[in-house]
Amino acid sequence: MAEATQPQTSVQVRPAPVAGWEARPSPGYLQLTWRRFRRDRVSMAALGLFLLICAITLAAPLLVTHVLRTDPNAQDLLNNFAPPSPRHWLGTDELGRDTLARVLYAGQVSLRIGVVVAAVSLFIGVPLGLAAGYYGGRIDDAINAVIQVLQNIPSMFLLIILSVTYRPDPTLLAAFIGFIGWMGTARLVRGQTLSIARRDYVEAARVLGASDARILFRHILPNLTSVVTVIAGFEIAAGILLESGLSYLGLGVQPPTASWGNMLQGSLDYITRAPWLVAAPGAAIFLTVLSIFLLADGLRDAFDPRMKG
């Protein structure tokens, strides 16, 4: 009799692990975002410039005291309109005050105004935009009605009335600017929310019984990161520029408190006699606003999940 053949069993042979190789977890969302951002040289340069400006302005007391060895408010009428020199790196103004020292201290005021403007605008505009885009119906109609009414009021005219009436300090002035500028933020967030709320993963979360708060803050708001980031950057820059415009009219930050805007306004009368008085605050505004715009644009592209990591 023929011997019964034994069934052959297939044996899977796994390749031996390569020396020094080990499984690594896939990069997370923030790691991919940073990877995309750091490949953009323009955005990295803008980030470095903005951080440098912030660091210099925050360290103004130390720099003025230990490096420049002067007082930004000390007047020396016998040395007014002095050109740039080793003693006064950016010259002096009409009262003999050191221009560089005043620019450093003014940067603290201007940057604070920009940050407060963005914070107030986002604090009001993002929640209202989310509510309008997600719930729709009467809530959307009511919020849109408020936006339409406020947008029909000339913002500069309203700011002039508030500035003349209250003579606000820099922080209150920034709050006024942010309060009358949240409408654009709300409309942008509303439009994005309308699109995201109709996607499949949001509908699936709703079917599974997720609450409205969970859907808004876990599924919709994280996908608005790129939009909110760009809005924040633009609002900071707009706050600095708008304060400069109000200072040109004499309604911005009031002396003796220095800001880049009122320094620029006060030096226009001496542009032919002392051009450095215009160049210093003007360059500070230009470089700060430019770095913010480029940084916001780079962050928008980095946060976009459709970009390849």
Domain assignment present for residue 212? The answer is: yes
Q: Name the one residue in this structure whose structure tokens are 């979360």.
A: 205
Residue with tokens 């079917």: 207
- 39 in a structural domain: no
In a domain, 62, yes or no: yes
pLDDT value of residue 18: 57
Query: Residue 121's Cα: distance from chain center in Å?
Result: 11
Top-confidence residue, 182 or 158:
182
pLDDT number for residue 24: 62
Tokens at residue 302, please? 């980095």
Please state the rounded mean pLDDT for residues 123-148: 92
Crossing angle for the helix pair 225-248 and 276-303, to the nearest 10 degrees: 170
> In CATH, what number is assigned to the domain containing residue 74?
1.10.3720.10
Q: Does residue 178 lie in a domain region?
A: yes
CA 38 to chain centre: 18
Q: What is the pLDDT of residue 236?
A: 92
Provide the domain limits for residue 158.
55-303
pLDDT at 305: 56
Percent of the chain at pLDDT > 70 equals 88
The residue-averaged pLDDT of 169-188 equals 89
pLDDT the model gives residue 309: 45
As beta bridge partners, residue 98 has 92
pLDDT of residue 101 exceeding 60, the answer is yes
**Number of domains making up the chain:** 1
Residue 233: pLDDT above 80?
Answer: yes
Residue range 199-204: mean pLDDT, rounded: 86
Say what the pLDDT of residue 122 is.
94
Q: Which pLDDT value is given to residue 22?
A: 56
Closest to 232 measured CA to CA, from 281, 283, 181, 162: 181
What proportions of the chain, in percent to the nearest 5, are helix, strand and coil? 70, 0, 30
**pLDDT score of 73 more than 50:** yes
Q: Which residue has the higher pLDDT, 155 or 121?
A: 121
Contact assessment for residue 147 and residue 99, using Cβ atoms and an 8 Å cutoff: no
Rounded to the nearest 5 degrees, what angle is found at the Cα of 198, between the Cα atoms of 196 and 202? 75
User: Model pTM?
Assistant: 0.83
What is the separation, in whole angstroms, between the first and last Cα of the chain? 67
Q: How would residue 1 be classed by pLDDT, with cut points 50, 70 and 90?
A: very low
Unique residue bearing structure tokens 């708008």: 242
In a domain, 34, yes or no: no
Instruction: Output b/e per residue, 90-104; b: 16+ Cβ within 10 A.
Output: bbbbbebbbbbbbbb
Residue 32 lies in a domain: no
CA–CA gap between residue 101 and residue 72 (Å, rounded): 5
Neighbours of 226 (CB within 10 A): 19
3-state secondary structure of 130: helix
Gap between the Cα atoms of 15 and 18, Å rounded: 9
Main-chain phi, psi angles of 134, to 5 degrees: -85, -45
Residue type, 45: A
Measured CA to CA, the distance from residue 115 to residue 239 in angstroms comes to: 8
Mean per-residue pLDDT of the chain: 84
What are the tens digits of pLDDT across the range 17-57? 555 555 566 666 677 777 888 888 998 999 999 999 999 99
Is the pLDDT assigned to residue 217 strictly greater than 70? Answer: yes
147: pLDDT strictly greater than 70: yes
**Total Cβ atoms within 10 A of residue 164:** 10
Quick check: is 20 in a domain? no
Question: pLDDT higher for 252 or 220?
Answer: 220
